């Protein structure tokens, strides 16, 4: 299977805290794509939307988009109004998993889990060649599994979630915490980032080594959670934590292998870069057209 990005247009949203306004802007963008396709006599089969918040898998309602303060909102329905073609809404990590399944690292496999370690942590799950969403749309929310009952408080309100260990903010917070106790560290003299931490760790700097050590341990925990829950053919890692410059020092140190039985699992890093959202959205349209056509009716 192949695909090509033919045209792209980016528009910032005026006020991300206002769902109704954002939707109007999005509709405007969708209509412009539709018009453009008609003018060029190119068939447009559907519009895929990769959405960064929680979605009700039955209704396509937005349930929560914490970052922008959205609560329940009829997202799919609102986007669909006034469109002549289907609009397919998928949560971003799930869409990205479908992107890997159709166009990326997971082509031809039966089961794939995309594990994203970014600002948040979550998994997009494709089992037996279908995206798996769960009853409430929570399947794959592995970032909120408790991995340290004595750990830090998570943005979700609970303590010691995986996200408090392997997300970008978690890594930076841990580094800052250690730098307070080690103000003479050379790391304290530069702007703190994943790149600077990975670089310093490679040079053997103490604080960075300690941050890396914890990150290695919990990245291993994260991968083992995926294996113990889904046992997929392939785990595709994505997100800044594994894609930042120098992240190979993390990946080279994560050793999977303490399973009671021999485990075949292919662990790779996504190669999609910043267009992963667009590719994932397109893949979700393709997936429903080919695999799940009845889902496209509504």
- Nearest-approach distance from CB 209 to a copy of itself, in angstroms: 18
Judge whether 47 and 285 are in contact, CB under 8 Å: yes
SS3 139: coil
Phi-psi domain of 257 (left: phi exceeds 0; alpha: psi -120 through 50; beta: other): left
**x/- letters, 184..223, toward a copy of itself (CB under 8 A):** ---------------------------------xx--x--
Query: Across 222-273, where does the E strand assignment appear?
Result: 234-238, 266-269
Q: Is 145 in the site for a copy of itself (CB under 8 A)?
A: yes
Out of 74, 173, 224, 278, the only residue in the binding site for a copy of itself (CB under 8 A) is 224
- Nearest-approach distance from CB 120 to a copy of itself, in angstroms: 11
Stretch that binds a copy of itself, among 73-81, 143-151, 205-213, 244-252 (CB under 8 A): 143-151
Beta-bridge partners for 64: 54
Q: How many CA atoms lie within 13 A of 201 on its CB side?
A: 26
Q: Is 294 in the site for a copy of itself (CB under 8 A)?
A: no
Compare residues 24 and 213 and give the one whose CB is closer to a copy of itself: 213
Q: Are strands 54-55 and 62-64 parallel, antiparallel or unpaired?
A: antiparallel
Q: Is 138 in the site for a copy of itself (CB under 8 A)?
A: yes
Judge whether 93 and 272 are in contact, CB under 8 Å: no
Compare residues 259 and 275 and give the one whose CB is closer to a copy of itself: 259
- Determine the Cα–Cα distance for residues 10 and 230; give it in Å rounded to an integer: 35
Residues found near a copy of itself in the complex (CB under 8 A)? 54, 63-64, 66, 110-111, 127, 132-142, 144-150, 156-158, 217-218, 221, 224-225, 227-233, 258-265
């Amino acid at each position: 299977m192949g695909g090509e990005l033919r045209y792209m247009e980016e528009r910032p949203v005026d006020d991300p805290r206002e769902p109704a306004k954002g939707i109007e802007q999005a509709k405007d963008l969708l209509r412009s794509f539709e018009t453009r396709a008609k003018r060029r006599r190119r068939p447009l089969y559907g519009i895929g939307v990769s959405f960064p918040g929680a979605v009700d898998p039955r209704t396509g309602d937005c349930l929560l988009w914490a970052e922008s303060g959205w609560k329940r909102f009829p997202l799919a329905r609102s986007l669909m109004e006034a469109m002549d073609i289907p609009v397919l809404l998928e949560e971003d990590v799930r869409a990205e998993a479908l992107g890997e399944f159709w166009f990326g690292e997971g082509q031809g496999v039966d089961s794939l889990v995309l594990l994203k370690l970014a600002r948040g942590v979550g998994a997009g799950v494709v089992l037996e060649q279908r995206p798996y969403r769960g009853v409430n749309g929570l399947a794959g929310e592995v970032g909120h599994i408790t991995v340290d009952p004595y750990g830090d408080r998570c943005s979700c309100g609970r303590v010691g979630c995986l996200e408090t260990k392997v997300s970008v903010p978690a890594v930076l917070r841990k580094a800052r915490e250690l730098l307070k106790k080690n103000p003479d560290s050379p790391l304290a003299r530069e702007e703190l980032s994943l790149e600077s931490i990975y670089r310093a760790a490679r040079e053997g700097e103490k604080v960075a080594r300690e941050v890396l050590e914890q990150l290695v341990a919990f990245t291993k925990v994260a991968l083992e959670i995926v294996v113990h829950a889904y046992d997929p053919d392939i785990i595709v890692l994505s997100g800044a934590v594994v894609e930042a410059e120098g992240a190979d020092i993390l990946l080279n140190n994560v050793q999977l292998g303490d399973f009671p039985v021999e485990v075949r699992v292919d662990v790779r890093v996504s190669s999609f870069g910043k267009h992963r959202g667009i590719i994932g959205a397109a893949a979700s349209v393709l997936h429903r057209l080919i695999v799940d056509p009845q889902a496209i009716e509504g």
